[in-house]
Amino acid sequence: MNMRTRTLLAFVFAGLISLPAPPSQAEGIRPPPPRAAFRGPMAQHAPMVELAYAGKRLVAVGDYGTILLSDDGGRTWRQARSVATDTMLTAVAFTGPETGWAAGHGGVILKTVNGGETWTLAHQAAPDMVLMSLAFETPERGIAVGAYGAALVTEDGGASWAPATLGTGEDSDRHLNHVAVSAAGSLLVAAEVGTIFRSADGGRSWSTVTLPIKGSVWRILGLGDRSLLATAMGGRLFRSRDDGLTWTALPSPTTQSLSGAVQLADGRLVVVGLAGTVLTGRSDGSGFSAFTQPDRINLASTLAVGESDVVLAGLGGVTRLELKNKSP
């Protein structure tokens, strides 16, 4: 396993899964028929990777095709009734309370039209493709990105997906870790080697912004004041006030790599990462302080619930965390 693969795996649970070789794109290769997701009483504690809202409902996706639903702010969870794959799911996004998408290993893209209760196979690309994130600009236009520069776009609400290329030369096969849509409508993709890909025209053309780090950028979060927060390896944090054109480093109290971020209703920022690391900071990106969850289990994603709580997704499943008395 090369260094790039080990780096990416640090956030897809440090060895729980492995990445294949770069996708072959060979014609005529058909993926194996999908199998239904794992179901069991301990599903809430399965490794979970990503979180999203479907209206007021919380949806979490993770290993073995596990999809969990919560209708009480993350206090209790139940499994989706049916999921058409048992592969690792790493991304989930909703375009409304009922319609949503999930993606993951094997180039799998799933669709739900009932708020996450059931999921059907909408698309399956090359069997060795690993999709890491997806986002929709509109209900019709979406993009999924992943390892080794993999990218798929839809212009028809997910009825069809076509390959796309974000970078050229040495940027063409960067691992694409996360895609976000800014308040201005730009697409931003967090990638390897401090790279951020940016498109202001719906993905028709892309420019490259390079942060002053050698490690990966893991996530980009749009904030309430229309600025952007980027999280990266080594505890690095960056902020952009010009829609991703330029970025400024923020002071960080940790060297643990940071994978998930959210802004609370009161404006505070919450960032999570490896070894149970949780940061809280002010809305302007200052004053970050760190604490560690007692179990020190890797955290992949977080989502705000209520006024001052968050839901955490990670190696140990999904949990709700109260932040009312946490600084700043």
Q: 3-state DSSP: the chain helix, strand, coil percent, rounded to 5?
A: 10, 45, 50
Give the domain range for residue 325: 258-328
Q: Report the CATH number at residue 304.
A: 2.40.10
Let me know if residue 307 belongs to a domain: yes
Q: What is the tens place of the pLDDT at every residue in 16-25?
A: 344 555 555 4
pLDDT of 1 higher than 50: no
Let me know if residue 73 belongs to a domain: no
Angle (CA) 252 234 254, round 5° = 35
Measured distance CA(195)–CA(128) in Å, rounded: 23
Report the mean per-residue pLDDT for the chain: 90
pLDDT of residue 9: 43
pLDDT of residue 324: 75
Write phi, then psi, for 149 (nearest 5 degrees): 75, 10
Let me know if residue 114 belongs to a domain: no
Q: Is there a contact between 47 and 63 (Cβ–Cβ < 8 Å)?
A: yes
Mean pLDDT of 287-306: 96
Lowest pLDDT segment from 8-22, 171-185, 219-233? 8-22
Let me know if residue 108 belongs to a domain: no
Measured distance CA(289)–CA(146) in Å, rounded: 31
DSSP label of 130: B
Q: What is the tens place of the pLDDT at every residue in 3-17?
A: 444 444 444 544 334
pLDDT of residue 19: 54
Mean pLDDT of 260-283: 97
pLDDT of 316 higher than 50: yes
Mean pLDDT of 262-288: 96
Let me know if residue 277 belongs to a domain: yes
Q: What is the tens place of the pLDDT at every residue in 36-66?
A: 766 766 777 889 999 999 999 999 999 999 9
pLDDT of 195 higher than 50: yes
Mean pLDDT of 94-98: 98
Q: What is the tens place of the pLDDT at every residue in 161-171?
A: 999 999 999 89
Let me know if residue 44 belongs to a domain: no
Q: What is the tens place of the pLDDT at every residue in 130-144?
A: 999 999 999 999 999
Q: Is there a contact between 287 and 245 (Cβ–Cβ < 8 Å)?
A: no
- Report how many domains make up the chain: 1
Residue appearing with tokens 């999930």: 102
Let me know if residue 320 belongs to a domain: yes
Residue appearing with tokens 């504690």: 45
Let me know if residue 53 belongs to a domain: no
